[in-house]
Structure 1
Amino acid sequence: MGVSGNSTCQCDLFWVPFQQSCYRGFGHLVTWSQARAECKRHRAHLVSIGSAFENWFVYELWKSSTGNKIAATGITFWTGLNDIDQEGIYKWADSSESVVWYRNWKLNQPDNSRNEDCVHLEPTSGRWNDLNCGAHAYYMCEMRQ
Protein backbone atom coordinates (compact mmCIF):
# COMPACT_ATOMS: atom_id res chain seq x y z
CA MET A 1 0.00 0.00 0.00
CA GLY A 2 1.39 3.36 -0.94
CA VAL A 3 1.34 6.17 1.54
CA SER A 4 0.15 9.50 0.31
CA GLY A 5 -2.19 12.22 1.37
CA ASN A 6 -3.54 15.47 0.10
CA SER A 7 -0.70 17.92 0.45
CA THR A 8 0.44 21.26 -0.82
CA CYS A 9 3.84 20.95 0.88
CA GLN A 10 7.26 20.93 -0.68
CA CYS A 11 9.42 18.74 1.51
CA ASP A 12 13.15 18.25 1.81
CA LEU A 13 14.75 15.07 0.51
CA PHE A 14 13.72 11.97 2.54
CA TRP A 15 10.70 13.79 4.02
CA VAL A 16 7.16 12.79 3.00
CA PRO A 17 4.40 15.39 2.57
CA PHE A 18 0.96 14.99 4.13
CA GLN A 19 -1.59 17.77 4.54
CA GLN A 20 0.36 20.80 5.82
CA SER A 21 3.43 18.96 7.15
CA CYS A 22 6.42 16.88 6.14
CA TYR A 23 7.24 13.64 7.97
CA ARG A 24 10.31 11.49 8.35
CA GLY A 25 10.94 8.34 10.33
CA PHE A 26 14.36 7.66 11.82
CA GLY A 27 15.55 4.10 12.32
CA HIS A 28 17.95 4.28 15.22
CA LEU A 29 16.97 3.54 18.80
CA VAL A 30 16.92 6.49 21.18
CA THR A 31 15.18 7.68 24.34
CA TRP A 32 12.24 10.07 24.04
CA SER A 33 14.39 13.07 25.04
CA GLN A 34 17.05 12.14 22.49
CA ALA A 35 14.36 11.78 19.81
CA ARG A 36 12.96 15.19 20.66
CA ALA A 37 16.42 16.76 20.42
CA GLU A 38 17.10 15.03 17.08
CA CYS A 39 13.84 16.34 15.63
CA LYS A 40 14.72 19.86 16.78
CA ARG A 41 18.09 19.48 15.07
CA HIS A 42 16.14 18.93 11.83
CA ARG A 43 14.00 22.04 12.49
CA ALA A 44 11.08 19.74 13.29
CA HIS A 45 9.32 18.20 16.29
CA LEU A 46 8.25 14.74 17.36
CA VAL A 47 5.10 13.85 15.46
CA SER A 48 1.77 15.20 16.75
CA ILE A 49 -1.31 13.27 15.69
CA GLY A 50 -4.54 15.24 15.43
CA SER A 51 -6.91 12.88 13.59
CA ALA A 52 -7.61 9.27 12.68
CA PHE A 53 -6.47 10.03 9.13
CA GLU A 54 -3.14 11.39 10.33
CA ASN A 55 -2.72 8.42 12.70
CA TRP A 56 -3.30 6.07 9.76
CA PHE A 57 -0.83 8.02 7.64
CA VAL A 58 2.05 8.00 10.15
CA TYR A 59 1.51 4.32 10.95
CA GLU A 60 1.43 3.34 7.27
CA LEU A 61 4.46 5.53 6.55
CA TRP A 62 6.32 3.79 9.36
CA LYS A 63 5.32 0.32 8.13
CA SER A 64 6.35 1.11 4.56
CA SER A 65 9.70 2.55 5.67
CA THR A 66 10.47 -0.64 7.60
CA GLY A 67 9.38 -2.93 4.79
CA ASN A 68 6.31 -3.98 6.82
CA LYS A 69 8.63 -5.62 9.39
CA ILE A 70 7.34 -3.42 12.20
CA ALA A 71 5.25 -6.19 13.79
CA ALA A 72 8.07 -8.73 13.53
CA THR A 73 10.59 -6.53 15.34
CA GLY A 74 8.14 -5.31 17.95
CA ILE A 75 9.85 -1.92 17.87
CA THR A 76 7.84 1.13 17.08
CA PHE A 77 8.37 4.88 17.23
CA TRP A 78 8.04 7.76 19.64
CA THR A 79 5.40 10.43 19.20
CA GLY A 80 5.46 13.83 20.86
CA LEU A 81 2.63 12.97 23.25
CA ASN A 82 3.60 12.93 26.92
CA ASP A 83 2.49 13.63 30.48
CA ILE A 84 5.93 14.53 31.82
CA ASP A 85 4.79 17.81 33.44
CA GLN A 86 1.69 16.44 35.17
CA GLU A 87 0.68 12.79 35.47
CA GLY A 88 -2.44 12.02 33.45
CA ILE A 89 -2.46 15.35 31.60
CA TYR A 90 -1.20 14.57 28.12
CA LYS A 91 0.09 17.21 25.73
CA TRP A 92 2.07 17.33 22.52
CA ALA A 93 5.75 18.26 22.77
CA ASP A 94 5.33 20.95 20.11
CA SER A 95 2.62 22.67 22.22
CA SER A 96 0.32 22.61 19.19
CA GLU A 97 -2.79 22.03 21.31
CA SER A 98 -3.49 22.71 24.96
CA VAL A 99 -6.02 19.85 24.89
CA VAL A 100 -5.46 16.54 23.13
CA TRP A 101 -8.73 16.18 21.20
CA TYR A 102 -7.99 13.08 19.14
CA ARG A 103 -7.02 9.93 21.06
CA ASN A 104 -6.18 6.43 19.87
CA TRP A 105 -5.17 4.55 23.02
CA LYS A 106 -4.62 0.81 23.07
CA LEU A 107 -7.08 -1.01 25.34
CA ASN A 108 -6.37 -0.32 29.04
CA GLN A 109 -3.89 2.43 28.21
CA PRO A 110 -2.47 4.68 29.39
CA ASP A 111 -1.61 2.79 32.56
CA ASN A 112 1.64 4.37 33.81
CA SER A 113 2.70 0.90 34.96
CA ARG A 114 6.42 1.72 35.18
CA ASN A 115 6.56 5.49 35.40
CA GLU A 116 5.46 5.75 31.77
CA ASP A 117 5.21 9.37 30.65
CA CYS A 118 5.93 9.18 26.90
CA VAL A 119 3.81 7.73 24.11
CA HIS A 120 4.69 5.48 21.21
CA LEU A 121 2.61 3.68 18.58
CA GLU A 122 2.03 -0.03 19.07
CA PRO A 123 3.76 -1.99 16.29
CA THR A 124 0.82 -4.26 15.45
CA SER A 125 -2.10 -1.84 15.67
CA GLY A 126 -0.94 1.76 15.42
CA ARG A 127 -2.70 2.46 18.70
CA TRP A 128 -1.06 4.53 21.43
CA ASN A 129 0.70 3.16 24.48
CA ASP A 130 2.53 4.93 27.29
CA LEU A 131 6.12 3.87 27.84
CA ASN A 132 8.96 4.89 30.12
CA CYS A 133 10.70 7.85 28.46
CA GLY A 134 14.08 6.22 29.07
CA ALA A 135 13.19 3.21 26.91
CA HIS A 136 14.63 3.04 23.42
CA ALA A 137 12.48 3.32 20.31
CA TYR A 138 12.68 4.72 16.81
CA TYR A 139 11.07 8.09 16.19
CA MET A 140 9.19 10.15 13.67
CA CYS A 141 9.58 13.86 13.17
CA GLU A 142 7.09 16.32 11.71
CA MET A 143 7.94 19.63 10.08
CA ARG A 144 5.00 21.99 9.66
CA GLN A 145 4.99 24.04 6.49
Structure 2
Amino acid sequence: MECGLLCQQASCMSMVYEATGRICHLHNRIITNTSDCSWRPNTSYYTVVSGVANGYDCDIITDSCLKKLPSAMSWSDGSVQCAAEGAVLLHIDSVSKQQAVQHYMIERGYSTVWLGINDIAKEGDWRTEHGSDSPGYFNFSPGQPDDFTNQDCAILKIYYGYQWEDVWCWSTNTVVCEIAKAL
Protein backbone atom coordinates (compact mmCIF):
# COMPACT_ATOMS: atom_id res chain seq x y z
CA MET A 1 0.00 0.00 0.00
CA GLU A 2 2.63 2.54 1.06
CA CYS A 3 4.86 1.68 -1.92
CA GLY A 4 1.95 2.33 -4.24
CA LEU A 5 1.38 5.78 -2.71
CA LEU A 6 5.07 6.59 -2.99
CA CYS A 7 5.15 5.44 -6.60
CA GLN A 8 2.06 7.49 -7.42
CA GLN A 9 3.55 10.61 -5.80
CA ALA A 10 6.87 10.16 -7.62
CA SER A 11 5.24 9.21 -10.94
CA CYS A 12 7.44 6.15 -11.09
CA MET A 13 7.18 3.47 -13.78
CA SER A 14 7.72 0.48 -11.48
CA MET A 15 8.51 -0.45 -7.90
CA VAL A 16 10.12 -3.32 -6.04
CA TYR A 17 9.49 -3.99 -2.36
CA GLU A 18 12.14 -5.72 -0.29
CA ALA A 19 10.27 -7.21 2.67
CA THR A 20 13.41 -7.98 4.69
CA GLY A 21 14.51 -4.36 4.82
CA ARG A 22 11.00 -2.92 4.41
CA ILE A 23 12.27 -0.79 1.52
CA CYS A 24 10.46 0.42 -1.58
CA HIS A 25 12.61 0.86 -4.68
CA LEU A 26 10.95 3.24 -7.13
CA HIS A 27 12.25 3.31 -10.66
CA ASN A 28 11.82 5.50 -13.72
CA ARG A 29 11.56 2.51 -16.10
CA ILE A 30 9.61 -0.74 -16.10
CA ILE A 31 11.47 -3.54 -14.34
CA THR A 32 10.76 -7.10 -15.50
CA ASN A 33 13.74 -8.98 -14.02
CA THR A 34 14.59 -8.31 -10.39
CA SER A 35 16.84 -11.34 -9.90
CA ASP A 36 20.05 -9.74 -11.26
CA CYS A 37 19.69 -6.43 -9.33
CA SER A 38 20.65 -4.42 -12.45
CA TRP A 39 17.72 -2.12 -11.67
CA ARG A 40 19.24 -0.74 -8.43
CA PRO A 41 21.61 1.97 -9.77
CA ASN A 42 18.84 4.42 -10.82
CA THR A 43 16.43 3.69 -8.00
CA SER A 44 14.91 5.94 -5.35
CA TYR A 45 14.81 4.21 -1.96
CA TYR A 46 12.15 4.67 0.71
CA THR A 47 11.85 2.93 4.04
CA VAL A 48 8.30 1.81 4.70
CA VAL A 49 6.75 1.98 8.15
CA SER A 50 3.51 0.04 8.59
CA GLY A 51 0.49 2.28 8.00
CA VAL A 52 2.54 5.34 7.04
CA ALA A 53 3.81 6.58 3.67
CA ASN A 54 5.97 9.73 3.65
CA GLY A 55 4.47 10.71 7.00
CA TYR A 56 0.87 9.99 5.98
CA ASP A 57 -1.27 7.98 8.38
CA CYS A 58 -3.41 5.60 6.34
CA ASP A 59 -5.20 3.99 9.28
CA ILE A 60 -7.65 6.80 10.16
CA ILE A 61 -9.99 7.01 7.16
CA THR A 62 -11.01 4.19 4.84
CA ASP A 63 -10.17 5.74 1.47
CA SER A 64 -7.46 8.29 2.26
CA CYS A 65 -4.36 9.06 4.31
CA LEU A 66 -3.70 12.10 6.54
CA LYS A 67 -0.58 14.05 7.39
CA LYS A 68 -0.17 17.04 9.70
CA LEU A 69 2.29 19.59 8.40
CA PRO A 70 4.99 20.60 10.90
CA SER A 71 3.86 24.20 11.39
CA ALA A 72 0.61 26.14 11.44
CA MET A 73 -0.02 28.38 8.45
CA SER A 74 -2.68 30.26 6.52
CA TRP A 75 -5.33 28.42 4.50
CA SER A 76 -3.75 29.31 1.13
CA ASP A 77 -0.22 28.40 2.26
CA GLY A 78 -1.55 25.09 3.60
CA SER A 79 -3.32 24.43 0.32
CA VAL A 80 -0.11 25.08 -1.63
CA GLN A 81 1.96 22.87 0.69
CA CYS A 82 -0.51 19.99 0.43
CA ALA A 83 -0.69 20.36 -3.37
CA ALA A 84 3.11 20.12 -3.54
CA GLU A 85 2.72 16.60 -2.11
CA GLY A 86 -0.13 15.67 -4.44
CA ALA A 87 -2.63 16.12 -1.62
CA VAL A 88 -5.42 18.52 -0.63
CA LEU A 89 -6.49 20.15 2.61
CA LEU A 90 -8.63 17.89 4.78
CA HIS A 91 -12.06 17.37 3.24
CA ILE A 92 -14.91 16.00 5.36
CA ASP A 93 -17.77 14.64 3.27
CA SER A 94 -19.73 12.45 5.70
CA VAL A 95 -20.72 11.95 9.33
CA SER A 96 -18.45 8.90 9.59
CA LYS A 97 -15.46 10.83 8.29
CA GLN A 98 -16.28 13.70 10.65
CA GLN A 99 -16.22 11.24 13.57
CA ALA A 100 -12.95 9.66 12.41
CA VAL A 101 -11.32 13.09 12.14
CA GLN A 102 -12.61 14.07 15.60
CA HIS A 103 -10.98 10.94 17.03
CA TYR A 104 -7.77 11.76 15.12
CA MET A 105 -7.75 15.30 16.59
CA ILE A 106 -8.43 14.06 20.12
CA GLU A 107 -5.63 11.47 19.94
CA ARG A 108 -3.12 14.05 18.74
CA GLY A 109 -4.29 17.05 20.77
CA TYR A 110 -5.19 19.30 17.82
CA SER A 111 -7.60 22.11 18.75
CA THR A 112 -8.24 23.46 15.23
CA VAL A 113 -7.67 22.07 11.75
CA TRP A 114 -8.16 23.76 8.38
CA LEU A 115 -10.84 22.27 6.15
CA GLY A 116 -10.51 22.25 2.37
CA ILE A 117 -13.58 24.43 1.76
CA ASN A 118 -14.15 28.16 1.34
CA ASP A 119 -16.65 30.72 0.10
CA ILE A 120 -14.07 33.13 -1.33
CA ALA A 121 -15.67 33.40 -4.78
CA LYS A 122 -19.22 34.05 -3.55
CA GLU A 123 -20.32 34.62 0.01
CA GLY A 124 -22.38 31.71 1.33
CA ASP A 125 -21.55 29.45 -1.64
CA TRP A 126 -19.14 27.01 0.01
CA ARG A 127 -16.91 25.15 -2.42
CA THR A 128 -14.12 22.62 -2.16
CA GLU A 129 -10.56 23.85 -2.20
CA HIS A 130 -10.30 24.37 -5.96
CA GLY A 131 -13.74 25.94 -6.29
CA SER A 132 -15.32 23.31 -8.49
CA ASP A 133 -17.58 21.30 -6.18
CA SER A 134 -20.02 21.89 -3.38
CA PRO A 135 -18.83 19.97 -0.32
CA GLY A 136 -22.15 18.13 -0.01
CA TYR A 137 -21.73 17.70 3.77
CA PHE A 138 -21.62 20.54 6.28
CA ASN A 139 -21.24 20.60 10.06
CA PHE A 140 -21.10 24.27 10.95
CA SER A 141 -21.69 25.23 14.56
CA PRO A 142 -24.96 27.08 15.30
CA GLY A 143 -24.55 30.71 14.21
CA GLN A 144 -21.83 29.73 11.74
CA PRO A 145 -20.83 30.57 9.15
CA ASP A 146 -21.31 34.20 10.10
CA ASP A 147 -18.85 35.88 7.67
CA PHE A 148 -17.70 38.19 10.46
CA THR A 149 -15.62 40.77 8.57
CA ASN A 150 -15.00 38.56 5.54
CA GLN A 151 -14.29 35.16 7.06
CA ASP A 152 -14.17 32.87 4.02
CA CYS A 153 -12.33 29.68 5.07
CA ALA A 154 -13.42 26.90 7.41
CA ILE A 155 -11.86 25.14 10.37
CA LEU A 156 -12.89 22.20 12.51
CA LYS A 157 -12.63 23.42 16.08
CA ILE A 158 -12.60 21.54 19.39
CA TYR A 159 -14.19 24.50 21.21
CA TYR A 160 -17.29 24.20 19.05
CA GLY A 161 -17.68 20.52 19.85
CA TYR A 162 -15.74 19.59 16.70
CA GLN A 163 -18.14 21.57 14.57
CA TRP A 164 -17.02 23.97 11.89
CA GLU A 165 -16.47 27.71 11.99
CA ASP A 166 -15.68 30.24 9.28
CA VAL A 167 -12.49 32.20 9.96
CA TRP A 168 -10.14 34.56 8.16
CA CYS A 169 -8.13 32.68 5.54
CA TRP A 170 -4.97 34.53 6.57
CA SER A 171 -5.13 33.27 10.17
CA THR A 172 -2.79 30.43 11.11
CA ASN A 173 -4.12 27.00 11.99
CA THR A 174 -3.05 23.39 11.93
CA VAL A 175 -2.80 21.98 8.40
CA VAL A 176 -3.73 18.37 7.72
CA CYS A 177 -3.18 17.17 4.15
CA GLU A 178 -5.26 14.37 2.71
CA ILE A 179 -4.27 12.05 -0.12
CA ALA A 180 -6.28 9.22 -1.66
CA LYS A 181 -5.09 5.71 -0.89
CA ALA A 182 -3.60 3.88 -3.83
CA LEU A 183 -5.74 0.95 -4.90
Same fold (TM over 0.5): yes
Asked if residue 78 in structure 1 is aligned to residue 121 in structure 2, the reply is no
Match of 2:28 in 1: none
Q: Could you list the per-position Cα deviations for residues 71-90 of structure 1 after superposition, in whole angstroms to 9, with x for gaps in the alignment?
A: xxxx4111101001111100
| Corresponding residue SS for 1:138 | coil
TM-score normalised by length of structure 2: 0.65
Match of 2:126 in 1: 90
- Work out which of the residue numbers 157, 165, 169 in structure 2 matches 1:129: 165
Match of 2:84 in 1: 41
How far did 1:94 drift? 4.7
TM-score normalised by length of structure 1: 0.80
How far did 1:62 drift? 2.1
CA distance in 1, matches of 2:101, 2:130: 17
Using a 3 Å threshold, how does the CA distance of structure 1 residues 100 and 121 change in structure 2: closer, same or farther? same
CA distance in 2, matches of 1:58, 1:27: 18
Identity of aligned residues (%): 25
**After TM superposition, which residue ranges in structure 1, 4 or more long, deviate above 4 angstroms?**
none
Match of 2:66 in 1: 23
CA distance in 2, matches of 1:21, 1:76: 20
Using a 3 Å threshold, how does the CA distance of structure 1 residues 16 and 142 change in structure 2: closer, same or farther? same
| Corresponding residue SS for 2:106 | helix
- Considering Cα pairs closer than 8 Å and 6+ residues apart, tell me whether 1 or 2 has the greater RCO: 1
- Amino acid of the residue matched to residue 57 of structure 1? A
Asked if residue 113 in structure 1 is aligned to residue 148 in structure 2, the reply is yes
Structure 2 unaligned regions, length at least 5: 6-50
CA distance in 2, matches of 1:114, 1:26: 28
Structure 1 unaligned regions, length at least 5: 1-8
Q: Which has the larger radius of gyration?
A: 2
CA distance in 1, matches of 2:81, 2:108: 18
